[in-house]
């Protein structure tokens, strides 16, 4: 089990004050990691950090910054690393969804989706990769989506952003593997998250997901934690640049 031991490792999870990110941060804390909860709203971040601390007994810290602002990212992470040291683990989870028919999609919404889902992973990773490289170790896990491979109506910008995340993962792996930094991507299928509330509460869409997924159900967010632990542990020491679908088989069938 030492291969999967992440006890004492410092992990920053972006967008972890609620939803999927909260579950991922909580999962890391349950396995003994020291977790840094992140978000844009200080009160929400503080509540999430306290909830994880109370439930797991782990060391939990917090940080607030706008992941779409490269200068703010650099400033916040300079201060964070001066206070806590360079994280051993970075999970780029912060994400945004906007829906509209392609011909009606507002350019400002396009910019917001790309900035939050793709540019943020570049900004945060770049700010930490130099320090990880100097140390000679690190684990970076980007959160993608089945939409990195499969498109559907009204979410073309989201699909484009997640496809970009997958290729950013590969590019980062190519540059950083020689510093013993592994960069990988987890692409969830359909999970019952805050972002998807309107979808799983829609009877027709819920039926479509269940029929389209070989497992015949939505995923539970806790089912992503095992893959995350693997990618954050020594068990994946020679795994880099990979995109792992956790989707109940959806991307394996037509």
What DSSP assignment string belongs to 113-180? HHIIIIIHHHHHHHHHHHHHHHHT-EEEEEE--GGGT---TT-HHHHHHHHHHHHHHHHHHHHHGGGT
CB atoms under 10 Å from CB of 233, counted, come to: 19
DSSP helix/strand/coil, 82: helix
190 is catalytic: no
What's the helix, strand, coil split of the chain in %, to 5?
A: 55, 15, 30
Please pick, among 123, 158, 190, 230, the residue that the annotation labels catalytic: 158
* HSE-CB of 249 using CA atoms within 13 angstroms: 10
Q: How far apart are CA 235 and CA 232, in angstroms?
A: 8
Range list of β-strands (E), the chain: 10-13, 34-39, 60-64, 89-92, 138-143, 181-188, 243-246
Catalytic residues: 158
């Amino acid at each position: 089990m030492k291969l999967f031991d992440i006890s004492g490792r410092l992990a920053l999870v972006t967008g972890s004050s609620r939803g999927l990110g909260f579950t991922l941060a909580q999962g890391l804390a349950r396995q003994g990691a020291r977790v840094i909860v992140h978000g844009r709203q200080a009160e929400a971040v503080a509540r999430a950090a306290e909830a994880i601390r109370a439930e797991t007994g782990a060391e939990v810290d917090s940080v607030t910054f706008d992941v779409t602002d490269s200068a703010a990212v650099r400033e916040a992470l300079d201060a964070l690393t001066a206070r806590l040291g360079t994280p051993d683990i970075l999970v780029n989870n912060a994400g945004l969804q906007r829906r509209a028919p392609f011909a009606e999609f507002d350019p400002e919404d396009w910019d917001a989706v790309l900035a939050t889902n793709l540019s943020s992973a570049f900004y945060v990773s770049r700010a930490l990769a130099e320090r990880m490289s100097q140390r000679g170790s690190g684990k970076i896990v980007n959160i993608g989506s089945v939409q990195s491979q499969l498109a559907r109506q009204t979410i073309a910008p989201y699909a484009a952003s997640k496809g970009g995340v997958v290729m950013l993962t590969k590019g980062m792996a190519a540059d950083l593997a020689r510093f013993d930094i592994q960069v990988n991507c987890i692409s969830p299928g359909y999970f019952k998250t805050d972002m998807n509330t309107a979808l799983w509460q829609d009877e027709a869409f819920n039926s479509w997901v269940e029929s389209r997924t070989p497992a015949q159900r939505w995923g539970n967010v806790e089912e992503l934690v095992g893959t995350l632990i693997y990618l954050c542990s020594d068990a994946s020491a020679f795994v880099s640049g990979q995109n792992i679908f956790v989707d109940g088989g959806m991307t394996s069938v037509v």
